[in-house]
Amino acid sequence: MPNRHSLFWRLVVLVAGFCLSMIWASGYVSRYIDKTSSFLSEQARDTLTGYASEAQAALQAGPEAMAQWLTVMKEREPTWLVVVDEQLQPLGGQSLSDEERRRLTFVRHYDWPMSRRYDGLPLVSVPLEGTGAQLIIQLPERFRPWRNHALLTAGGVYLPLVLLSLLFCWLLYRMLVSPLDRLRRQANALRGNRLDSLLPPSIARRNDELGELGRSLEYLTQRLRDSVAQQQQLLRDLSHELRTPLSRLRVACESELSAEDMRNRTEREINSMQQLVDNTLEFAWLDSEQPRFECEPVDVAALWDLLCENACFEAGWPRERIQAQIPEGCQVLGNLNALAQAMENILRNAIRYSPAHGVVGLTAARDGDSWRLRIQDQGPGVPEAKLAVIFRPFARLSAARPGGDGFGLGLAIARSMVVMQGGAIWAENSQPGLRLTIRLKTV
């Protein structure tokens, strides 16, 4: 449920007020137009009253005068008419057919409103004063009501609605579009590499969703500043890491090493720098591009066997020191190459910090619609306060985890690889050693 500061309530008031105003205005004006348009015009009533006066005079003069008047009326008004008494019997020698008598039951007084549902021309009655008789005439076409109904509706109903809509749009613009335009200008400023705080105070003070959006954009700006600072720090760390093997090479060149020792030292330092550059470029690519890997079913047991074979060959470990407890049918939804690289980095890291005759193990357990893959070593572990630090680039906690000659990029790359597959990774201390957990969706 939206909170009391939500923009939802402002929109409710605005939209409800607009709708109620439209309903009231359109209903009131429409009823007024219907009422005024359904009656005969003043000119039509005067004309019909005049015809009734002529009919009354002809009726008093006799049947011949009535017949003559009817003949004259047929020339003046090409329509059907009759003069009847109170019992709807024709006067003045007129006669009616059965169909015409039935039509007399649908006669309306000429002062009454006319229905729009009637397709033809209505029959209207005009009383003959003092006689009780009435003139019944089919309304001439030129006197038909509702003739200007569409024009009156357009001017009286639709025009006010258009004006109300303009007012509604203006209020909606003030409420939504204007602050969004300010946020757009802030976003455009970010495109221009202006990373200073640009959030207008009028938006920062808002308690609704637009205020949250503005503060989120401000947070994004801060994260971008932090990312730029991290890249700069990465360059400084890379520069520092490269200086160390270069310094060792300089010392080796100035020393009196044999040609064989010099070649071995040079090859080792070049391989070290090559690995550093490759890992740094890979991490920088993952951090900047943030690619989305194509995911497919991956058999964890088969992948782990392949990784263990390669790791044992490189480290000289017997296969028995790498164990696994993987349930049958353990398949995760991930990218084979990315998952292999992430697990390989974790496995190498576990082997590097394992004690003599230590064991590295993998266990897999179902967690709802996901699998948790836990890789655990028997090393000294990591202080609790440093568990999140080990996933940062160039983080090497040699005091807590001695041994090894890595650059602190393996776990950072592994974390990026797992996250890009829609998974999660975290570290925990176990008794003994360190346990890293990868959570990925099941197939």
Q: What is the CA radius of gyration of the chain?
A: 47
pLDDT of residue 151: 66
Give 404's pLDDT tier (boundaries 50, 70, 90): very low
Give 129's pLDDT tier (boundaries 50, 70, 90): confident
Which pTM value belongs to this model? 0.46
Question: Which among 191-195, 200-204, 262-266, 351-355 has the top mean pLDDT?
Answer: 351-355
User: φ and ψ at 368, to 5 degrees?
Assistant: 65, -120
Q: What is the pLDDT of residues 243-260, one digit of tens each?
A: 767 777 787 787 877 888
- Is the backbone peptide bond immediately before 432 cis, with ω within 30 degrees of 0? yes
Average pLDDT over residues 98-115: 82
What is the rounded average pLDDT for all residues in the chain?
A: 80
400: pLDDT strictly greater than 60: no
200: pLDDT strictly greater than 80: no
pLDDT of residue 427: 92
How many whole angstroms separate alpha carbon 412 and alpha carbon 7? Answer: 41
Burial 366-376 (b: 16+ CB within 10 A, else e): eeeebbbbbbb
Contacts of 84 (CB under 8 A, 6+ apart): 90, 91, 104, 133, 134, 136
Torsion of CA 41, 47, 49, 52, to 10 degrees: -140
pLDDT of residue 118: 65
403: pLDDT strictly greater than 50: no
Helix (H, G, I), strand (E, B) or coil at 96: coil
How many whole angstroms separate alpha carbon 52 and alpha carbon 95? Answer: 19
227: pLDDT strictly greater than 50: yes
Q: What is the pLDDT of residues 364-383, one digit of tens each?
A: 999 889 999 999 998 888 88
CB 389 within 8 A of CB 376: no
The more confident residue out of 23 and 148 is 23
Lowest mean pLDDT among 135-144, 288-297, 301-310: 288-297
